């Protein structure tokens, strides 16, 4: 197996899922006492979130680039950035390391393309939903038209992520709101929905969704697992 670096802590709620799922995947494939060879750098999310809110993406890119370089020096052969939103600074991270960054957009886009999906809804932070870095990668690389919520709904989706999910709160009312938004997308012609924030899958776990769901964290873990196992 090869050693994988994980840039996490954004939030640590989803990083726990990455750690557990990578290890479970190795155990399922290899059996016995096998577990995943991982190096994890978990940041203080308060600092990154403040840079997001102020629009200081350059500072966020420098911080994550430094962390990524540290993982490379420590022996990581590839990187998972365990967050959708911070892939906005993926290029800044890639510029300072000599190992591959396994991009979450590709982890999401490939299964959608294989399933023949041409129109997909996107739920995530307001940065992920409204800015171009995520949508354009899916559109250009995989030919997927990305649908996003109306502004008021997008604001509430974003609020739930930062004020609830990232703090370990998974409330029934928020779950119902997300499911109602998915139903609106189904009615408007979406063929699937991307859970484009790594905490949303925790909120909707076990729910019956009106649309097929592509959980970005789950697909990203699968990409990382394939790399680890070669």
Catalytic residues: 83, 197
Rounded to whole angstroms, how far apart are CA atoms 93 and 43? 15
CA nearest to 65, candidates 44, 43, 90, 37:
90
Rounded to whole angstroms, how far apart are CA atoms 71 and 59? 19
Place of tokens 């640590």: 12
CA nearest to 82, candidates 31, 135, 39:
39
Contact (Cβ atoms closer than 8 angstroms) between residue 7 and residue 39: no
Residue 192 bridge partners (DSSP): 120
End-to-end CA distance of the chain: 7
In degrees, rounded to 5, the angle at the alpha carbon of residue 230 between the alpha carbons of residues 2 and 197 is: 80
192 φ/ψ angles, rounded to the nearest 5 degrees = -160, 170
Residue 101 bridge partners (DSSP): 79
Q: Which two tokens stand for residue 50?
A: 């403040």
Q: Which two tokens stand for residue 96?
A: 């300072």
């Amino acid at each position: 197996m090869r050693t994988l670096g994980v840039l996490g802590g954004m939030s640590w709620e989803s990083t726990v899922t990455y750690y557990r799922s990578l290890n479970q995947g190795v155990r399922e494939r290899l059996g016995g006492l096998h577990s995943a060879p991982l190096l994890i750098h978990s940041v203080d999310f308060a600092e990154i979130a403040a840079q997001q809110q102020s629009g200081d993406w350059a500072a966020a890119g420098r911080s994550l680039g430094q962390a990524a370089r540290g993982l490379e020096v420590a022996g990581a052969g590839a990187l998972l950035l365990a967050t959708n939103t911070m892939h906005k600074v993926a290029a800044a991270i890639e510029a300072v390391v000599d190992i591959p960054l396994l991009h979450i957009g590709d982890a999401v886009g490939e299964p959608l393309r294989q399933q023949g999906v041409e129109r997909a809804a996107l739920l995530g932070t307001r940065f992920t939903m409204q800015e171009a870095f995520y949508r354009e990668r899916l559109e250009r690389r995989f030919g997927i038209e990305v649908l996003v919520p109306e502004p008021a709904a997008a604001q509430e989706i974003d609020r739930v992520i930062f004020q609830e999910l990232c703090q370990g709160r998974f409330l029934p009312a928020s779950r119902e709101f997300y499911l109602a938004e998915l139903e609106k997308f189904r009615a408007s012609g979406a063929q699937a929905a991307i859970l484009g924030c790594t905490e949303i899958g925790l909120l909707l776990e076990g729910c019956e969704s009106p649309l097929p769901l592509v959980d970005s964290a789950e697909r990203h873990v699968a990409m990382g697992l394939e790399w680890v196992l070669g």
